[in-house]
Amino acid sequence: MSAVAFSANGQLLASADGDGTVRLWNPATRQPVGAAIQADTVTMIGGGVQPNGQLLASADADGTVRLWKVSLFTHPYAALCADVGPPTAQNWAKYAPREPQPKICS
């Protein structure tokens, strides 16, 4: 593990692995919160989770700094819909051809 940081309220723990996996954890249950997000590499999580709980900052060895929306971990479909809208039937068929398209942006 490359880095860890707690949220200001202590309800989330962010971790970054050397392979670029960024993950949120519930310290009380020791279980992951939502899905992991993959970056190229992450060497540290600076500042951890923003006090309002909406953003997480990470930095790579090459100096790249990223701000992650915490909602991408906890509610990835809702975050995607808020940013780009619902996927079209054509896009869904292209990227998930064997999966039924859920109503994710309602």
What pLDDT, in 10s, does the model give residues 4-41? 878 777 888 888 887 778 888 889 999 988 878 777 66
> Mapped to the 3 state alphabet, what secondary structure does 11-25 carry?
CCEEEECCCCEEEEE
Does residue 30 or residue 57 have the better pLDDT?
A: 30
Contact 21, 68 (CB under 8 A): no
CA–CA distance, 71 with 88 (Å, rounded to integer): 22
pLDDT of 94 strictly over 70:
yes
- Average pLDDT (64-91) is 77
Structural domains of the chain, ranges and CATH numbers in brackets: 3-74 (2.40.10), 76-106 (no CATH)
- 90 contact partners, CB below 8 Å, separation of at least 6: none
Q: Which amino acid is at 46?
A: G
What does the buried/exposed string (b/e) look like for 81-101 if buried means 16 or more CB atoms within 10 Å of the residue's CB?
eeeeeebeeeebeeeeeeeee
pLDDT of 3 strictly over 60:
yes
Q: How confident is the model at residue 45 (pLDDT cuts 50, 70, 90)?
A: low
